[in-house]
Every structure is written in structure tokens, then in C-alpha cells.
Structure 1
Amino acid sequence: MKKFYLIALFFIGAFTSQAQELKWYTDVREAITVSNTTHKPMLMFFTGSDWCGWCIRLQNEVLKTAEFKKWATDNVVLVELDYPRRTPQTPELKNQNNELQQAFGIQGFPTIYFTSAEEKEGKVNFKGLGQTGYVAGGPAAWLTVANGIVNPKKS
């Protein structure tokens, strides 16, 4: 009987932890569709995931925290635009990310750009809401900045 409870507890825990994982889109067109369907802006995370110290620090101090997960679920569609040095990417993904880096004028990492977008006649029009990067002070400090961009009337 104890085995049954332990197994049941294990599966409940496994499903709960999976439910808490955030969905980071890498295909911008898919993210735009979700953004427009849910009426949430996109959080576009421009990162060098395998070499950028500040990007890794932002991930560990903010983006992987419970506070961020709750906030992100309620407020944004997450998009990761990665520029790794050691991790292979498909040519299509590299091309998409390079085009977006140029379109948004991203010159340093990490940069987080908040935007909404619409697609008309095969062309994407972005409406910038604001941008940020690493903010010292952990999730509370970072979320204060992000809320000021995403929910300016509530700040």
C-alpha cells in the first residue's frame, strides 16, 4: 500500500512540475499567432545562451524563478532568440534571429524587447512597447521594470 501512495505522489509531482514549465517559442511567426490569440504582448529575449555571462545571470536570477514564471504566464508570450557560439542551430533559425536582431537594432546581450505584432500580406509589423536587459536586484526589481513596460497604467 505504501508503494501505491509513493508512486501516486511521484506522478502527481511529475505532472505538477511539468505544468510549471514555461513555453519559450523560437519560431516568431508561431509566437505572433499565440500573442494575437491570447492578446498578450511578446517578450523577445535576445541572448547568447552559451557564452554571454549577463544572459546566463539573467536566466538564473530571474527567468528561472517561480515569481517570473507566474508573471510570464499571466502577462506575455515568451520568445527566445538565441545567438549561441557552440550550440548548433538550423540555417532557418539563424536567419530568422539575425533578421530580427537587425530589425530591432539589438547591439548587446541580453536584451529583452516587449512588442506586439501583426502579419499582413506576408509582412510582419511590430509595435514596440519597450525594452530592458539585466536588472540587478533579482526577480522583484526586474518585474517592476517589466510591469512598467507591459502594464504602464498599473505601475
Structure 2
Amino acid sequence: MKKLLMIGTALSLVFAVQAGAADKKAVADDQIGLSKTSVYDVPDPQTFQYRDVAPFSGKVLPRAYLGAPPQVPHNIDGFTPITRDSNACIGCHQQPSMIGKKVKGQPTPMPISHYVDDKASAMHMGRYNCTQCHTPQATVKPLVDNTFSKQK
């Protein structure tokens, strides 16, 4: 019993010392996270406009990182909201006979990964929300630089 009492007292002292040390190492709220401003500040990111070009007429911007999904190089006003039953993207991009073939001036066909099988018999329903991965292009500086390999 005496041994347990000594161990309990020692542990209490250790926790008390650690608690006292924690007060001395307080972190200022402008030193938390990636932003070097206060966590209470309201961010005001740079405003931008998506590119306003017709489908198949714009220059494709480089991908954000190696393996990133391609960005949409044209305006998608009127295409959204994209739902399972209303998807204007597949009208041009669902071309099973063109998988793996990119023709300049023509819509890029959806890859085989967007279909339920390797015969491209039907679109996978988990892929209908195109803008979940593919975003409209905008020329903006990233809020935070990434460390992924850049596309060359």
C-alpha cells in the first residue's frame, strides 16, 4: 500500500510539473496553422473570374500537380448543378469508342476509370459529379503552395 501511495504521489508531481510547463509554452493565435494572421481574422482571398471561353476553343492550363485531374478549359455556366439525372458534361465527353484518343478541337473522352467495366458499357454512378474533381480553370495564385511534383 505504501508503494502505491509513493507511485501516486510521484505521478501527481510529474503531471503538476507538466501542467506548469504547458502554461509557459502558450502559442500565439497568429502562429497557429499555415496562415500567419490571427485565427480570428476573416480571410479575404483574391477575387477572380473563371475563364469565359466556349467549349473546345480555350488553351488548357497545366495541372496543379502530377496526376491531378484535368481542369475544365471552358465556361460551365448553365451546366450546373450537375446531378445523376442531369449531366450536360456526358453529352460531349461520354465517348466509349474514343477512350484514350485525344483529338485537337474535340472533347476529351472520359477515361475507362469512369465506367463500370473495361468495356465502357455504362458510366459509373460514382463519377457523375464531374465538378467534384474537375474544376473550371482560373489563373490565380494558390493560397498555399503545394509540395507535389509539378506537371511539366
TM-score w.r.t. structure 2 length?
0.25
Which structure features the higher share of helix residues? 1
Q: Name which one, 1 or 2, has greater alpha-carbon Rg.
A: 2
Which structure features the higher share of strand residues? 1
TM-score w.r.t. structure 1 length?
0.25
